[in-house]
Amino acid sequence: MDTDVLIIGAGPTGLYAAYYAGFRGHRVAVVDSLPELGGQVTAMYPEKQIFDVAGFPAVKGRVLVEGLVEQAATARPTYLLGRTATDLVSHDDGVEVSLDDGTLVRAGAVIVTAGIGKFSPRPLPAGEGWLGRGMEFFVPSFEPYAGKDVVIVGGGDSAFDWALHLTGIARSIALVHRRDAFRAHERTVQQVRDSDVELITRAEVTRMSGNGVLQEVELDVDGERVVRPAQALVAALGFVADLGPIQQWGIEVQRRHVVVDSSMRTSLPRVFAAGDVTEYPGKVRLIAVGFGEAATAVNNATVAIDPAAKVFPGHSSEDG
């Protein structure tokens, strides 16, 4: 397929880049290895409040993504979800990108907005075979946990956030962690301590059981065997991130990040990058920063596609 701008990564930065490419009059395609839009926000913290996006004193991750998808829809993008960009070849007159399903995309320019890259959850050894049968790695919706006994395994922000959000929804919540110390933010830890959540430390899940679906879990709590009811278990043990094929494309990479200049150009012609995946002096990895980088990348990509175009697009308030 042919397009003007191909965006690799459908997280917040990629969605805003899709909108902006449409604003500049380009045909847009967006590819992402995940099956749904929103990247890490959708997969990991859709119900978490975000406080540092301009114009929103507080906004849930899910609501932010919904707004970005609606905004991007004005560009009528072609979404290629559940697919991974495997190869990229940059030419003076365009870029060719191969996807793992055999699709070849020819674009005038590419913008890499891959965030931390392709990420996969760290496995829970006792949970082998239980995924989708009571065990999950992420909590995209709270409704399935209503009235259930829930066990959350982990000591990071995701584990504690989900424990707080499920309070009042689940029948009971136990947060299991192998140490007494936690990686989560101190304030969130205190909120959990002050809630009805049961904190079980120096513990690990050793067995999960049930007739087809999860019914109970067995814990080793400081050497003592404990069995408790559980119809749902969330394994929030973190994840492993990898730039994957991007590292083989000939793009300059430092510490798993793509090096760009002030125009968001990479070391390859017609290939730009924006968002958390980028690296440059003074880089700050925030969603708010990614939005500005997306606009910079698109405007400079526009000149790469059409040398007669201007970098500055004019003000959107004057459009139409």
74 has binding-site annotation: no
119 has binding-site annotation: yes
Identify the burial level of 41 via C-beta atoms within 10 angstroms of its C-beta, where 0-12 means exposed, 13-18 middle and 19 or more buried: buried
2 has binding-site annotation: no
220 has binding-site annotation: no
Instruction: State the Cα–Cα distance between residues 56 and 281, nearest whole angstrom.
Output: 28
Helical ranges in 157-314 per DSSP H: 157-166, 186-193, 287-305
308 has binding-site annotation: no
Edge-first strand listing for the sheet containing 232-235: 135-136, 232-235, 149-153, 172-176, 198-200
206 has binding-site annotation: no
Residues in the chain: 320
13 has binding-site annotation: yes
Instruction: State the Cα–Cα distance between residues 208 and 101, nearest whole angstrom.
Output: 36
32 has binding-site annotation: yes
Edge-first strand listing for the sheet containing 257-259: 253-254, 257-259, 278-279
Q: What is the dihedral of CA 84, 103, 77, 252, to 10 degrees?
A: 50
Helix, strand, or coil (residue 147): coil
Q: Which residues are annotated as a binding site for FAD?
A: 13, 32, 40, 45, 85, 119, 276, 317
Binding site: residue ranges?
13, 32, 40, 45, 85, 119, 276, 317
